[in-house]
Structure 1
Amino acid sequence: MRQTTDALFLGRQEELARMGGWLDRAAGGEPRIVVIDGAAGIGKTSLIRRFLADKARGCRVVTASGEEMERELAYGVITQLMHYLPETPGATLPGTAHGACSGIAGHDPVAAGAAFLDALGRFHGRKPVVMVIDDIHWADTPSLHALTFVLRRLRVDRVLTVLATRDSADLRLPQGLHRLINDDTTLRLSLDGLPVPDLMALNASLGPAPLPRRTMARLRDHTQGNPLHVRALLQQFPADVLGGHSVLPAPRRYERIITERLGACGPGARHLVQAAAVLGMSGPLHLAAELGAVPEPLGALTEAMACELLDESPVGTPPQVVFPHPLLRAAVYRGLEPTERSRLHRSAAGLVHEPWIALQHRLHAAVGPDAELAEELALFAAQQSARGVWSAAASAAMAAARMTAEPGRRSRWLLRGAEYLLLAGDVSQAAELEQTIRGMTPDAEQHYVLGHLALTTGRLHEARRELAACWDTCDATTGTETLRKAAEQMAWLCLIQGDAPHIIHWARRGLDLPPGKRSSFLRDSLAIGLAVSGDYEEGMRSLAHLPDAGPRDTPEQLDGLLARGMLHLWNGQLREARRDLEEAFASHRRGGLPYAALVALGFLTDAAYRAGQWDEAIAHGTHAVSLAEDTDQISILAVVHAMTACPLAGRGEFRAAEAHARAAAEHARVLGDVNDSAFAATALALVHTARGDHEGVIRQLNPFLSPEIVHRYGIEEPGLVGWRPLLAEALTRTGRTEEAHEVLTPYERRATERSRPIDQAAAARCRGLLEEARGHSDAADRAFRDGLRHCSQGESCWEEALVRLSYGTFLRRSGRRREAAGELEAAHGTFQRLRATPYLERCARELSGCGRVTVRPRNAGHPVLTAQELTVARLAVRGMTNQQIARELVLSVKTIEYHLSNSYTKLGITSRMGLIEQLAPDA
């Protein structure tokens, strides 16, 4: 009997040692990632097996692998991983026992990742966890997004993740995963071929006589040291052929070796291996035995393992069979006679329970166009699209196109497949179809898909042309769904470009059509367009269909809720804004538009910042940035980065704030979005303001006074982007009072016209600063008092503290020290609670000038705690368990335990009762 694969493991000692070092760090509470890439047959799987056997002995092991035939099976890889983990009440994925996409389709990658993270936390115990995912280039897209989500949230968990792929730069991998792969904490191992000494050891292990070093060097050059190919040549050809001067045979003859090995097996083992090859890289033993009509499957498996044709998966109920290498499975599969291969696929279609896998088997069994199969594939695609399972819908639609001989149907299904790819986030695959789509007979649906693709890839002018052409070329055969989606995309394009009249125009055109089956952004676009053009009341009336509270189970109950929250925010109704945005985020996450969920979370960050809820704002903002990166929602990143920078700047965390603001500016530049550029510039200006760098503020914001920008809708609307008060203040403080007056006046007028109290307060504060600089004390006093009056019209807000600081400073300089102390002490209390360090220091200096000594209370914001520690601690004070906090923040339980332990140490306490005593509510 031949030696086992493990016994033939050669070389790679340096790689094993480096992986062992990474495991040691993970075992010490520093989660780490190892990425192994290299060509097929280079030894990635063998290296992982030896690592698990030698270095990871005693660890808890969780394994999964991508499978070419299951690439469109939603959460197939996550399902494999979940098989190892304990069930977690309220967090498990329905249907994961069978990997049925029908059971998991309702989950988005964030929900699936959160469920997996929860289960992984319960799996830890006292042993480190090694999580292995082989062939990630064949993993399904939802699993890749969910896995990225999980890996980013392993902070102190004793987990080593090993990822194996042929190419770590594969464009199909999510951008968030690429960032992890290229992170400094990730170990990259790119496997080259084995050196000559290791190949000589391989030759010696095979016997009977070793070949000379010169021959082995020749083989090394011929195969680049690929151990699978070298072994194939050594087993097939005699020494005189390998050592002669003739051209060496091609490694593709490896298939003949496998065919000979398979022919030497008994009928049971042979039929089992062939059936397994039809099922894929792995599958249940009982299913392979039934497909191959093998009466004694265990005996057949034993023989196949002895011939190194199959392995038994280490974990699986029922038992699983797996091929040792993809090339081996491919050799067996290609060695089947075409008629036998087709017959086995037809039989397999009747045995598997998953509809998509059954359809794939029928595809492989087909010998030409099949109208009935094409219709079934198209129906399956429609069903998956209705449930938001875009990746499976795309594959089914494109398969339907291949299976039909009718040109019109082929074009229609290919167009839908491209659209589904865009919705799934597989932009590169959709882009590969662009030239094929352009070669089709032009019609409305073709123009819509080309426009959608152009908009997604940032070609805005082309997108406008194609989407307009969709409407211009429509006829009686054009479906209203196509026109409604084209209007939705056009409205979104106009929103990006700040073109409010056309936002309204296209939203109304889309809404005039019969309603669709899924949520759309049309109602939101209409309300936002009306608001940014100054017609706030009409915008709110367009949302009158919305109930005040949930449930949000239908598009009618959900569409427009995000816009209502945004309009409340811009109008200064912060409590109502936070309510709607929180509900919009949760509802869109459950079954609406994933993009809309992130928009809601981004503006919820802004609402919490304005309301003076900075712990909450930072938590929302960092969560939004992470989710957008994890799910490749690039177009929202500028907004969420900018909004996350604001509370960080206010706290004096300048490095982090500036990093977010500059990231926002870069994303806005790539997209060419003026509105996003305004958000980014305002965030950078806030950093400069907090630092006291007024010239820096002017440099950032002066460009927005240019004629081609200043009249953009949205840029000038009070409540949306607060750049004018920042610029007016900076100009005033640098002595440029006339310029400050020119900047401030339009803002004052619009804030008054819109009756927006927070903006009126900001305008009054800036007016007070300006009149003080001009020497008009009475006018300055009136302005500051107006600011306080406007603040009193609503709930407590951040602007009120700024008004009190400015007014208190003015009063002190006017000699009215007692009045000044009252205003400054009120501002000082807010700055303490928020840990607004730069403003706290300024306020303390002013109070000192009033003869008041400031003492920081013991519980004043707890600057000793990090933002994450404080967020965790406050949830603990509310009575939530570690498990509940982990689910709320989508972190592992180990991370929650770590943050609480740090908080206890820093605060000098030993229990949650101590937290309750120390932490005042962040109100």
Structure 2
Amino acid sequence: MSGVQPADEDVHLVGRSAQLDRLAALADRARAGSPVVAVVEGPAGVGKSALLHRFRRGRPGVTWVAGLSWERDRPGELARRLLDAPDAGTDPVALGTALVRAWGAAPHVVVVDDALDADPMSLQALASAAARLDDAPLLLLLVRSGAAGAEAVDLLDRLPAVRLPVPPLTPEQTRLLAARATGVDLPLPVARRLSDHVGGIPRHLLEVLRDAPPVRWSDWQTRLPAPTTVQRRVEAALLACSPPARALVQAAAVLGAEPVLADAVVLGEVDEPIAALDEACAAGLLALQAGHGLDALAFPGRFVRGAVHATLAPARRHDLHLRAAEVVTDETDRLRHRVEAAPLPDPTLADELVALAERKAAEGAWAVVAGALIDAARISPSRADREDRLLRAVDALAGAGLLGQAVDALAEVEALPSGPHRDAVLAYVAVQRGRRAEAESYLDAAWERRGTDRAAAAVVCQRRVLHALAEWDGDGLVRWAGRAVEHAQPDAPAAVESRAIVGLGHAARGEVAEAFTAYRAAIAESPSGPQHQRARMGLGWLHLAQDDPDAARRELEYAVPPVSATASAAGRTGSNRISLWALAWLARTRFALGDWSGALEAVDRAELLVVATGLELLRPLVHGTGAQVRALRGEPDAAERHLRLGGAAALDYTVMAVPALLARAHVAEAAADYGAVVRHLTPLAVRSPRGGIDEPGFWPWHDVYANALVRTDRLAEADAFLAPLEAAAARRRHRSTGARLGVVRGRLLGARGDVAGAEAAFARARDLLAPLPLPYDRARTDFAHGLTLRRAGRRRDAAELLTTARQEFAALGAQVHVDRCDRELKTARPSAGTPDGLTEQERTVSALVATGMSNKEVAAEMVLSVKTVQFHLTRVYAKLGVRSRAELAARRAGG
């Protein structure tokens, strides 16, 4: 019953160490007498069987059986093969009982490969056996792959089992597999392109690597072929089709990834379209788009369209594309088909493509611009034209947020002669990748080489605007935006985009009225299209910073593409880059409004877009919100994942460094580790000059840092830090900043014994927050006020505030603060003691110490001094008769 182990398994099993470790742990658990049923999942070809072959190597007692699709209609057949008993019958319960007896008491591993191809009765027998395993030392591994009926899928879904996913390969793992299989060290951009092309599936990757010469892998414009197995299957299916069905499929493949049936019928000259469509769908060559009728077609699987297109003879392909240019109505599609039909350079067609690109650039449709210029460069007879159009195409790719494609082309761009246009393009890509020093170097070089070319100078200025935005340099942003408008024609993209961004520059230097004026003008100038998207995003960000999250949500939701839009689709109609900015700020907006589930939904969408586009600049901003929400919900592992993905270095761009540091501070604050909060935010506090990061509303880190100073008894430092910020918030009349700083001021005064002053500070904070829809800030105010009163001995008043805060935190889902309120309420409510003789405060101290907290950490958590904690702990030891923290932990663990 053993399968055939692939000879090249050692070479091709890449990136599976975590899954192998998990399998070994499951085997150990089963061997110890806890039977385990696990389902190994992943797309076909991802390497599930190879993983299990590696796992069973050198491991005794492994039984291997595979589901066979031609046995699905033979009830109990797979179970009988497992039992090696052809006459074992067809009752699933009896078969399951027999399996348990056959496996016996010896440690054993059973692998059922291609489980969905097994007959349903055998799957029922396996489920019955799993229910009767008791303490048998068995690991049952079911490999989920292959096509199946609904009954088999349902059986596997309902089986109580550990799920072990086998993920697709990452670009780095793709690179390693390519090196092992072919001996070629692929550049990472090429490996990323290959990984995207094959969906990270090792089987498909190996086929493409073996069938395409290495020179093709490094050409970013080359269309990679379908894997050999897919190509052969598609060719066989086409040959088996009737001529009308074959013609319909070929016409659809020529039209594009989402063809319209009516166009395919006309192009393919199909007389009986419904019959042909039915046959093509049955052959697995076409499908209907979900949510549509019969008019919208799709291709089942990522390679089918390309494989069909590859079967077309040159003359047939030329003819179909020429006629498709007459069938389709969209100007971009018409030109694309003419390019596909052009076997030789065509300067006239290239000029038409450039003209289209210029019109679309005025609209900000950068993905369309990029496609037109790439095509124009390919068919341009002049080398100078090819180089110029290539540069403009890569620039447009970066503008659309299709950074992966832009990075793929960098080697070709870097090989071009230095000049303002080339250096500006390289700077643009560097900004989007978050490479501050590299962008600065290219921008300096581009400005020095601009000469008398005003258009080139305008582009360099506009790139400087983006660089200043990433650095949150309001003065630089406004200055370079003015220069861009001065050098460019009024309707040139450099001028239009600079006018759409300049409002943020005004805001970063405190000119809020000018910022709103600039955005009203930008929206009026571009009432629709991608430039309108850009202006609405900026206006939403501005509203959020100016304490109007409801207006911010309205603007930002407009600027975000629909949930169904893919990265490429968003790029065609707008800018992935702007969509990502909008999603990042929408997450913050929803967090502020108390919609934390909505905030996480925006984070999840933005994370996918970051991965799809490679826009590293915004990664920390996206993951910062995720880290904060997960930490406050009491999900430390999920919060740590966001911190890991959203990290940034101190010398990175400001819009990277500030949210990354603030996220770490938020997670540390949720864990009551205020020393860590101070450490994380000190780089911002000592930064000189701090520039726009002190402008109220945009980067709210100051109260977090000042609060941590108070909680670590650095009161003088906190006072000195707060004073100028409070004055700035008052000058700007910024309510939420004034309230947050006021809460810290209240805690500071309370720590100094000025309870009356603290109460006044908390009252002012509440007044400032009263008209604002900021529930988390209100809850924090009540909580801080309650802690301050509890420390001052006003336990009844403290209990009322803490009860209110608990309700507010519970409504938000802030479980960390709910638990904290519960602990505080135990000490705030008057009590004569507890059965073990401890006061409520002594019980709280002992509980926290028993979790492993130091006295300093307990003091920060309970807003007490370290000496007070030590006093309580000494009394706890005496009352309970223990002598150490270890004994205390053991006493509490034992009840």
Scaled by the length of structure 2, the TM-score of the pair is 0.58
Say if 1:342 and 1:364, in contact at 8 Å, map to a contact too.
Answer: no
1:222-261 residue pairs with structure 2 within 5 A? none
- The answer to whether the aligner puts 1:690 opposite 2:670 as a matched pair is yes
Q: Which residue of 2 aligns with 1:563?
A: 538
What is the Cα deviation at residue 436 of structure 1? 5.0
What is the Cα deviation at residue 642 of structure 1? 0.3
Q: Which residue of 2 aligns with 1:605?
A: 587
- The answer to whether the aligner puts 1:801 opposite 2:775 as a matched pair is no
Aligned with residue 808 of structure 2, among 823, 830, 835: 830
- The answer to whether the aligner puts 1:414 opposite 2:390 as a matched pair is yes
Q: Which residue of 2 aligns with 1:615?
A: 597
Q: Which residue of 2 aligns with 1:246?
A: none
Q: Aligned pairs, how many? A: 631
What is the Cα deviation at residue 33 of structure 1? 2.1
Say if 2:607 and 2:622, in contact at 8 Å, map to a contact too.
Answer: yes
User: CA–CA distance in 2 between the matches of 1:362 and 1:52?
Assistant: 48
Say if 2:353 and 2:372, in contact at 8 Å, map to a contact too.
Answer: yes
What is the Cα deviation at residue 493 of structure 1? 0.9
- SS of the aligned residue for 2:639 comes to helix
User: CA–CA distance in 2 between the matches of 1:563 and 1:741?
Assistant: 34
Q: Which residue of 1 aligns with 2:19?
A: none
Say if 1:458 and 1:671, in contact at 8 Å, map to a contact too.
Answer: no
Q: Which residue of 1 aligns with 2:479?
A: 505
- The answer to whether the aligner puts 1:785 opposite 2:785 as a matched pair is no
Q: Which residue of 2 aligns with 1:492?
A: 466
Change (3 A) 1:777 1:181: same
Say if 1:175 and 1:632, in contact at 8 Å, map to a contact too.
Answer: no
Which letter maps to 2:623?
A: H
What is the Cα deviation at residue 752 of structure 1? 2.0
Q: Which segments of 5 or more consecutive residues in structure 1 lack a partner in the other structure? A: 1-9, 19-27, 38-49, 59-122, 131-155, 194-222, 227-253, 259-264, 296-310, 334-340, 854-923
Say if 1:821 and 1:852, in contact at 8 Å, map to a contact too.
Answer: no
User: CA–CA distance in 2 between the matches of 1:836 and 1:676?
Assistant: 26
Q: Which residue of 2 aligns with 1:345?
A: 318
Q: Which residue of 2 aligns with 1:579?
A: 554
Say if 2:596 and 2:629, in contact at 8 Å, map to a contact too.
Answer: yes
1:193-592 residue pairs with structure 2 within 5 A? 313=285, 345=318, 349-350=322-323, 353=327, 369-379=345-355, 381-382=357-358, 393-423=369-399, 427=403, 430-431=406-407, 433-434=409-410, 436-437=412-413, 444-467=420-443, 470=446, 473-474=449-450, 479=455, 484-512=458-486, 513=488, 514-516=490-492, 521-545=497-521, 553-554=528-529, 558-585=533-560, 591-592=573-574
User: CA–CA distance in 1 between the matches of 2:7 and 2:70?
Assistant: 11
Say if 2:367 and 2:571, in contact at 8 Å, map to a contact too.
Answer: no
Q: Which residue of 1 aligns with 2:18?
A: none
Say if 2:321 and 2:340, in contact at 8 Å, map to a contact too.
Answer: no
Which letter maps to 1:575?
A: D
Identity of aligned residues (%): 27
Say if 2:357 and 2:370, in contact at 8 Å, map to a contact too.
Answer: yes
User: CA–CA distance in 2 between the matches of 1:623 and 1:595?
Assistant: 13
Q: Which residue of 2 aligns with 1:899?
A: none
What is the Cα deviation at residue 398 of structure 1? 3.6
Q: Which residue of 1 aligns with 2:696?
A: 718
Change (3 A) 1:797 1:415: same
- The answer to whether the aligner puts 1:756 opposite 2:756 as a matched pair is no
Say if 1:528 and 1:539, in contact at 8 Å, map to a contact too.
Answer: yes
- SS of the aligned residue for 1:715 comes to helix
Say if 2:651 and 2:657, in contact at 8 Å, map to a contact too.
Answer: no
What is the Cα deviation at residue 365 of structure 1? 7.0
Say if 1:342 and 1:366, in contact at 8 Å, map to a contact too.
Answer: no
Structure scoring higher RCO (CA < 8 A, sep ≥ 6) equals: 1
Deviations 1:750-786 (A, max 9, x none): 2222221111111111112112222233322322222
Which letter maps to 1:840?
A: V
User: CA–CA distance in 2 between the matches of 1:841 and 1:312?
Assistant: 55
- The answer to whether the aligner puts 1:625 opposite 2:607 as a matched pair is yes
Q: Which residue of 2 aligns with 1:33?
A: 43
Change (3 A) 1:829 1:429: closer
- SS of the aligned residue for 1:34 comes to coil
Deviations 1:804-830 (A, max 9, x none): 112122223333344333322321220
Say if 1:382 and 1:393, in contact at 8 Å, map to a contact too.
Answer: yes
User: CA–CA distance in 2 between the matches of 1:543 and 1:281?
Assistant: 40
Which letter maps to 1:494?
A: A
Say if 2:350 and 2:380, in contact at 8 Å, map to a contact too.
Answer: yes
- The answer to whether the aligner puts 1:816 opposite 2:794 as a matched pair is yes
Q: Which residue of 2 aligns with 1:649?
A: 631
Q: Which residue of 1 aligns with 2:707?
A: 729
Change (3 A) 1:315 1:552: closer
Say if 1:450 and 1:466, in contact at 8 Å, map to a contact too.
Answer: yes
- SS of the aligned residue for 2:679 comes to helix
Deviations 1:660-693 (A, max 9, x none): 123211xx23992233222111111111112111
Change (3 A) 1:313 1:746: same
User: CA–CA distance in 2 between the matches of 1:583 and 1:320?
Assistant: 28
User: CA–CA distance in 1 between the matches of 2:692 and 2:71?
Assistant: 59
User: CA–CA distance in 1 between the matches of 2:71 and 2:494?
Assistant: 50
What is the Cα deviation at residue 653 of structure 1? 2.0
Say if 1:454 and 1:460, in contact at 8 Å, map to a contact too.
Answer: yes
User: CA–CA distance in 2 between the matches of 1:29 and 1:416?
Assistant: 50
Q: Which residue of 1 aligns with 2:141?
A: none
User: CA–CA distance in 2 between the matches of 1:409 and 1:739?
Assistant: 62
Aligned with residue 660 of structure 1, among 642, 665, 675: 642
- SS of the aligned residue for 1:576 comes to helix
Say if 1:444 and 1:473, in contact at 8 Å, map to a contact too.
Answer: yes
User: CA–CA distance in 2 between the matches of 1:320 and 1:464?
Assistant: 45
User: CA–CA distance in 2 between the matches of 1:556 and 1:426?
Assistant: 17
Q: Which residue of 2 aligns with 1:844?
A: 822
Change (3 A) 1:31 1:822: same
- SS of the aligned residue for 2:520 comes to coil
User: CA–CA distance in 2 between the matches of 1:566 and 1:286?
Assistant: 44
Say if 1:35 and 1:181, in contact at 8 Å, map to a contact too.
Answer: no
Say if 2:433 and 2:614, in contact at 8 Å, map to a contact too.
Answer: no
- The answer to whether the aligner puts 1:635 opposite 2:645 as a matched pair is no
User: CA–CA distance in 1 between the matches of 2:263 and 2:559?
Assistant: 45
Q: Which piece of structure 1 moves more, 535-544 or 349-358?
A: 349-358
Q: Which segments of 5 or more consecutive residues in structure 2 lack a partner in the other structure? A: 14-37, 48-65, 75-146, 155-161, 176-187, 212-227, 233-238, 272-282, 289-293, 563-569, 832-895
Which letter maps to 2:826?
A: S
- SS of the aligned residue for 1:33 comes to coil
Scaled by the length of structure 1, the TM-score of the pair is 0.56
Say if 1:568 and 1:576, in contact at 8 Å, map to a contact too.
Answer: yes
User: CA–CA distance in 2 between the matches of 1:800 and 1:674?
Assistant: 29
User: CA–CA distance in 2 between the matches of 1:693 and 1:129?
Assistant: 47
Change (3 A) 1:180 1:676: farther
Deviations 1:479-530 (A, max 9, x none): 4xx5554333211111222322111112233345413469965345322222
What is the Cα deviation at residue 276 of structure 1? 8.3
User: CA–CA distance in 2 between the matches of 1:657 and 1:615?
Assistant: 15
Which letter maps to 2:467?
A: L
Say if 2:470 and 2:655, in contact at 8 Å, map to a contact too.
Answer: yes
Change (3 A) 1:173 1:519: farther
